[in-house]
Amino acid sequence: MKNNINDKKRNKILKALLICLLILGIISSNIIVFAAEEDPLQVVNNLSDFIFGLIRAIGMIILGFSVVQIGLSIKSHDASQRANGFLTFAGGLFITFAKDILDFITK
């Protein structure tokens, strides 16, 4: 029984040492990373375009959900659900065209 406990302690210590050695090996290794030959501003613009593309996709999902919500509210004659549907539709439009709105404001 006592031998089993000592084996468990020894295994934990060996695992901890192995993890420490692995971390030290990763930290001390020389990894060469080559930068892009592009202008740094172009990289930021590409990231901005990617993020706004994601925002536009989310806006379109919200627009689709709002159309379904408006349709269900018209079918069930629920005025509060209809109001929420139209508010969601307006928010989806705003989110979908956020980049175009910001471009229009800044120019």
Task: Give the pLDDT confidence of 69-103 residue by residue, as tens digits.
Answer: 999 998 988 888 899 999 999 999 999 998 888 88
Give the percent of the chain with pLDDT over 70.
84
- Split into its structural domains, the chain has a count of 1
Q: What is the pLDDT of residues 5-38, one digit of tens each?
A: 677 888 888 888 888 877 777 766 666 666 667 6
Q: Which of 64, 66, 69, 58 is nearest to 98 (CA)?
A: 58
Its sign, for the CA torsion 91, 95, 96, 100, is positive
Q: Residue 69's CB: how many other CB atoms inside 10 A?
A: 19
Give the domain range for residue 73.
2-106
Q: Is the model's pLDDT at 107 over the cut of 60? A: yes
Nearest CA to 99 out of 53, 57, 47 is that of 53
User: Which has the closest alpha carbon to 50: 103, 107, 99?
Assistant: 99
Q: Taking the model in full, what pTM does it have?
A: 0.59
Which pLDDT score, from 0 to 100, does residue 90 have?
Answer: 93
